[in-house]
């Protein structure tokens, strides 16, 4: 499976999340652009805080987009990987997760936004309905491809579920939960640099 785009969302801790103040992310993301603090070429910041249950504040990049997302009623860091050639799903997701975990670590270390992330709860989305339709067979194939990577990241103490249900209009989404997950920086180190 070689999808065009993949995304993951790391949720804000604790769950259910208190209301997240989005305005600090505008300045923080602008600073990340100036310092080139995250993976990929960072370009601009867009403020969608006015959209209910929407994308929040988005840091747009050439290779990755990072956003403090409010979609689905759960606040979290949504990272989207794009323009990465034709690697297999597991390699694309490895780079995606490494970039997302480094971004979560940078946000936590900065402290301006006052959020922490639950590294043991994330959703991986395969944003390519042609290469990965949202059906049971594609879900099983994606889980089989991602299983070694998720075991490398979390060990045997993780569970996966079909997060997008059976609605073919939704993108394929896989939720991953792990008990006793390490910090974002430790998990990123396990995965190496984004390719």
Q: Residue ranges per domain, the chain?
A: 6-191
Give the pLDDT band of residue 192 (cuts 50, 70, 90). confident
pLDDT in tens, 155-182: 998 999 999 988 999 999 999 999 889 9
Provide the 3-class DSSP secondary structure of residue 107.
helix
pLDDT at 19: 83
pLDDT at 64: 96
Which residues on adjacent β-strands are paired with residue 124?
8, 174
Let me know: does 91 contact 71? Beta carbons within 8 Å: no
The DSSP output letter for 52 is: T
> Taking all residues of the chain, what is their mean pLDDT, rounded to a whole number?
93
pLDDT at 194: 46
pLDDT in tens, 77-112: 999 999 777 789 999 999 999 999 999 999 999 999
Q: Which of 4-18, 60-74, 169-183 has the lowest mean pLDDT?
A: 4-18
Q: Does the N-terminal peptide bond of residue 14 adopt cis geometry, omega within 30 degrees of 0?
A: yes
pLDDT higher than 90, residue 17: no
């Amino acid at each position: 499976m070689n999808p065009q785009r993949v995304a993951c969302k790391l949720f804000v801790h604790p769950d259910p999340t208190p209301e997240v103040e989005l305005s600090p992310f505008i300045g923080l993301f602008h600073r990340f652009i100036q310092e080139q603090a995250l993976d990929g070429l960072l370009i601009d910041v867009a403020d969608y805080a006015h959209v209910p249950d929407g994308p929040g504040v988005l840091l747009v990049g050439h290779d990755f987009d990072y956003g403090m997302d409010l979609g689905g009623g759960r606040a979290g860091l949504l990272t989207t990987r794009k323009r990465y050639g034709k690697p297999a799903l597991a390699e694309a997701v490895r780079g995606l997760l490494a970039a997302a975990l480094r971004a979560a670590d940078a946000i936590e270390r900065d402290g301006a936004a006052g959020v922490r992330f639950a590294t043991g709860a994330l959703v991986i989305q395969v944003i390519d309905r042609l290469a990965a339709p949202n059906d049971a067979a594609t879900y099983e194939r994606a889980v089989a491809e991602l299983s070694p990577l998720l075991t490398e990241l979390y060990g045997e103490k993780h569970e996966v579920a079909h997060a997008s249900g059976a609605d073919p209009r939704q993108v394929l989404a896989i939720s991953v939960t792990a008990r006793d997950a390490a910090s974002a920086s430790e998990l990123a180190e396990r995965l190496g640099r984004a390719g």
